Amino acid sequence: MKFQIEVLKSKIHRVTVTQADLNYVGSITIDEDLLEAANMIEGEKVQILDINNGERFETYIIKGERGSGSICLNGPAARKVQVGDIVIIVSYARMDFEEAKTFKPWVIFPDTATNKLIK
Q: Which of 10, 27, 70, 91 is catalytic?
A: 27
Of 53, 56, 60, nearest to 26 by C-alpha is 60
On whether 105 is known to bind a ligand per the annotation, the reply is: no
On whether 59 is known to bind a ligand per the annotation, the reply is: yes
91 as an active site residue: the answer is: no
Q: Which of 60, 68, 91, 92 is catalytic?
A: 60
Q: Would you give the DSSP letter of residue 1?
A: -
60 as an active site residue: the answer is: yes
On whether 76 is known to bind a ligand per the annotation, the reply is: yes
Distance CA 29, CA 70 (A): 7
On whether 77 is known to bind a ligand per the annotation, the reply is: yes
Residue 104, SS3 per DSSP: coil
The residues carrying an active-site annotation are: 27, 60
Query: Residues within the annotated binding site?
Result: 59, 75-77
Query: Residues within the annotated binding site for substrate?
Result: 59, 75-77
